[in-house]
Amino acid sequence: MGWHNVGTVTDEDIDCCVRFDRVSKQLSGQILLDDLSVRVPERLTTAVIGASGSGKSSLLNHINGLLQPDSGVVELFGQPLDYRQLSEIRRRIGYAVQEIGLFPHMSVAANITLMARLAGWAERRIDERVEQLLTVAKLPRELLGRYPGTLSGGQQQRVGLCRALMLEPELLLLDEAFSGVDPIARQDIYRDFIALRDQAKCTVVLVTHDIREAVSLAQYGIVLRDGLVEQAGELADLVRNPANSYVESLFSGQIP
Amino acid sequence: MIGRGLALLVLLSLPLVSAAERETIVVGTKTFTESYVLGELMAQVLESSGHTVERRFGFGGTLICFEALRNGDIDLYPEYGGTIQRAIYGGLLADKDIARRLDSDGLRLLGEFGFNNTYALAMPGELAQRLNIRNISDLRDHPDLEIGLSHEFLSRADGWPGLQQRYGLTQTARGIEHGLAYQALREGEIQLTDAYSTDGEVPRYRLTLLRDDLGFFPRYMAAPLVRNELPASATQALQRLAGILDEARMQQLNGAVVIEGREIADVAADFLESEGLLSQRTDSASMWHRLLRNTLTHLQLTGIALFLGCVAGLLAGVAVHRSPRMSRAVLHTASLIQTIPSIALLALMIPLLGVGKPPAIAALFVYSLLPILASTVTALRCVDPVLSRVATALGLTRWQQIRHVQLPLAMPHILSGIRTAAVISIGTATLAAFIGAGGLGQPIVTGLALNDPALILEGAVPAALLAVLTELGFELLERRLVAPPLRTREDF
């Protein structure tokens, strides 16, 4: 079932946060996922790696129910995903994307706190959480009253991460979230992201086409090609023992 | 916000409700001078005998006025025997049959005022002399005559079509507002028009009335046409007007209004006083009072229609915007309705809702719907799909997305749609006076009928001012409802 050679971590002994069991999905005649089975280990950062069109964003969008499988089961937090309860489930999942998608009509503060307010958090709890996030993300408080359109790209990306982490999610999904950041600023945002992640202690699934980013941020890797898993396992293991020439070519020359 | 809107709606509806449970007698008229004068005479006689009277003058046409009476929207109006016989019941009925037909409609004619205001064809005296035209049959020798006729005369069976047939006339006639016809005659734009034998302009413009040598026109004896349930005290008061006016006196009263430009209420009061029929003069409403009342009515009509338009337009827009096919269907339907001429739409509402404010509000509502609906659907469809995806993924419910993301982002566009609807409504509402809804169209309709530019301005200027104020009001509203980054001006 496309589950190869996982080295020290086998599919039996990991606590898994997300499990795909023979998931297939077609959209307007195009195969996105092809009978795909895979697991995402809990409390680790998993990089979903692949060329564009490999199905990596589709995989991510199945986790929070933006896409529903034609067949197969998506399991989340130990239970099959309940598509009637998506709003509740999504509040336990942070989400940040390459386009960032900050709401332009809301201040930075409103963007970050929107979900907490809708969830009925007390003002004091909101303040404390915002303070915590800003400190870790190295965002000055003065930005709170400004509108997203007046921020730099890096600042917007950090605000997007703060918004995704506001409700202390158990799972954080990142869809090419750092691709828009210029290469010079990227090391800084990687560092701040790691700080945020370690503070949040949540599982992370990040989709990327950038092997260097995967290696910098993730411990676990899933390599996708044409809607199929080429190899999944600890990243170090993927690098050392590629299952095939495709995986090998992906990682060649990418070891720091 | 919704609560405040409802409160506003209730407030705006109050006068509607109180008008429905009135004990006052409602007097109607059509839109020409004599009808106004007779309506005012009847109103003052009723007031003088202790009744409370509401004047709903200026219904745009015989059938609208008659329909209003039959529906009970008005209690009486002045009508002519010939008109009832030919235009309303569409046939040659004996007087007895007419009385029976009226009675089955719950109506009856009171005693005639005494004059016969028959239709006549009028042309400038010199021209008639030069062309040697004295009788209507002489017109056969002048097929190139420029003829402009009032719209009603042009279409009713006892008007131009029948006349053409009886006399074998071949000229084509065009429609012209009756109040403007005399001016058009004087300026040579037309050479012949329909007139009433009691028109005050006939002597003033030195017009010749052509003799009806084949006896086509019936007698048009004017009388109050009233609902049967009118209290006896009211009919007794009205009977005092029977037989007090002959053609010359009616011409005189009409002339006093049209030519001397006197207030109808004063002309009527002077006449009634001279006849000893007025115990005390009621003060006619001052211009400012009238202006205030008309403006409030106007705001009420447009306000209710716009509020309903906003509610329906926003709800429908939100409901359909996700489906391209539904959006298209709804937008096409709305634009189709928009192409119905407003005066026709108003008239179409009469069989459904009678006359007065409800049909006017319904028509204005229908008109305001398209701009609001179109802007809502377009604006919602234009919201960046990334933002919608992010909002979904963050766990906002469908309603929360609409409320916190889509609507605020679409707000500038939606507001401009509502602004367009508001300005259109304010303009179109001036036409509502034709179906008895009042408002700032009232002085315009009356002014048009009396050829009184001052009266027309009394409606047109405030209506234009209202439109300008509305524009300003929406700019303020934009400041409150639109987030600074989305505003059109860079003032944040």
Q: Average pLDDT of B248-259?
A: 88
Q: Is A115 on the interface with B (CB under 8 A)?
A: yes
Chain A residue at shortest CA distance from B405:
A103
B86 and B130 share one domain: no
Structural domain contains residue B491? no
What number is the average pLDDT over the span B185-212? 87
Calculate mean pLDDT across residues B244-256: 89
Beta carbons of A224 and A209 less than 8 angstroms apart: no
A59 to chain B nearest CA, in Å? 14
**Residue B12 placed within a domain:** no
Check whether residue B77 and residue B108 sit in a common domain. yes
pLDDT, greater one: A6 or B438: B438
- For B79-95, the pLDDT digits (tens) are 998 888 877 887 666 77
* Residue indicated by tokens 């959480």: A129
What does the alpha-carbon distance between residue B436 and residue B454 come to, in Å, rounded to a whole number?
21
Instruction: Give yes or no for a contact between B216 and B485, defined as CB atoms under 8 angstroms apart.
Output: no
**Nearest-5° angle of CA A160, CA A166, CA A170?**
105
What pLDDT digit, counting tens, does each position of A80-110 carry? Answer: 888 888 888 899 999 988 888 899 999 999 9
Low-confidence winner among A142-156, B17-31, B114-128, B400-414 (lowest mean pLDDT): B17-31
According to the model, what pLDDT value does residue A255 have?
43
Q: Does the CA dihedral B320-B321-B327-B330 come out positive or negative?
A: positive
The domain tally of chain B equals 3
DSSP secondary-structure letter at B286?
Answer: P
Q: Tell me the residue type at A74.
A: V
Considering the domain architecture, whether residues B234 and B126 belong to the same structural domain is answered as: no
Q: What is the CATH number of the domain that holds B42?
A: 3.40.190.10
Query: Is residue B147 helix, strand or coil?
Result: strand
Residue A45 has pLDDT above 70, yes or no: yes
Q: Are B181 and B266 part of one and the same domain? A: no
Based on the domain organization, do B313 and B425 belong to the same domain?
Answer: yes
pLDDT single digits (tens) A143-156: 999 999 899 888 89
Contact, B121 vs B202, CB < 8 A?
no
Q: Which residues of A touch B397 (CB under 8 A)?
A: 87
Domain shared by B79 and B127, yes or no: no
Picking from A87, A117, A175 by the largest number of B CB atoms within 10 A of its own CB, the best residue to mutate is A87
Residue B397 contacts A where some CB pair is shorter than 8 Å: yes
- What pLDDT shows up at residue A1? 39
Confidence of residue B199 (pLDDT cuts 50, 70, 90): confident
Answer whether B393 sits within 8 Å of A90, measured CB to CB.
yes
Q: At what angle do helices B62-71 and B342-353 cross, to 10 degrees?
A: 30
Q: Do B336 and B431 have their domain in common? A: yes
Tally DSSP H helices, then E strands, for chain B.
22, 10
- Cα of A3 to nearest chain B Cα, Å: 29
Task: Check: CB of residue A25 under 8 Å from CB of residue A199.
Answer: no
The CATH number that applies at residue B171 is 3.40.190.120
The residue type of B333 is T
**Domain extent for B331:** 287-486
Q: Model confidence over A105-125: pLDDT tens digits?
A: 999 999 999 999 999 999 999
Quick check: A91 and B485 CB within 8 A? no
Are residues B461 and B347 located together in one domain of the fold? Answer: yes
The last residue of one of the domains, among B250, B274, B298, is: B274
Q: Residue A90: its chain B contacts at CB < 8 A?
A: 392-395
Q: What's the whole-number mean pLDDT along residues B302-326? A: 92
pLDDT of residue B491: 45
C-beta atoms surrounding B422 within 10 Å: 25
What CATH number is associated with residue B291? 1.10.3720.10
Same domain, residue pair B134 and B82: no
Residues 6+ apart with CB under 8 A from B328: none
Write down the mean pLDDT value for chain B: 86
Residue of B nearest to A164 (CA): B394
Classify A167 as helix, strand or coil: coil
Q: Which residues of chain A are within 8 Å of residue B390 when distances are taken between CB atoms?
A: 95, 97, 101
Looking at the fold, whether B406 and B344 belong to one and the same domain comes out as yes
**Which residues are CB-neighbours of A188 under 8 A, at least 6 positions away?**
A154
Taking CA atoms, what residue in A is nearest to B388?
A101
Is B365:B303 a contact under the CB 8 Å cutoff?
A: no
Choose from A105, A111, A113, A175 for mutation: most chain B CBs within 10 A.
A105
Q: 3-class SS at B174?
A: strand
| B177 pLDDT above the threshold of 50 | yes
User: Does residue B281 sit within a domain?
Assistant: no
Residue at B97 is within a domain: yes
Confirm if B124 and B182 have CB atoms less than 8 A apart. Answer: no
Same domain, B104 and B142: no
Query: Which one of B388, B394, B406 makes the best mutation probe of the A interface by having the most chain A beta carbons within 10 Å?
Result: B394
In the A/B pair of chains, how many CB contacts fall below 8 A?
Answer: 63
> What is the DSSP annotation of B126-150?
HHHHHHT--BGGGGGG-TT--EEE-
**CB proximity A161 to B under 8 Å:** no
What is residue A232's three-state secondary structure? strand
Check if A163 contacts B (Cβ < 8 Å). Answer: yes
A147 to B483: CB separation less than 8 angstroms, yes or no: yes
B386 with B297, same domain: the answer is: yes
Q: Give how far A94 is from chain B: nearest CA, Å.
A: 7
Average pLDDT over residues B433-461: 86
Residue B7 within a domain = no
Q: What is the pLDDT of residue A14?
A: 61
Distance CA B309, CA B389 (A): 30
| % pLDDT > 70, chain B | 92
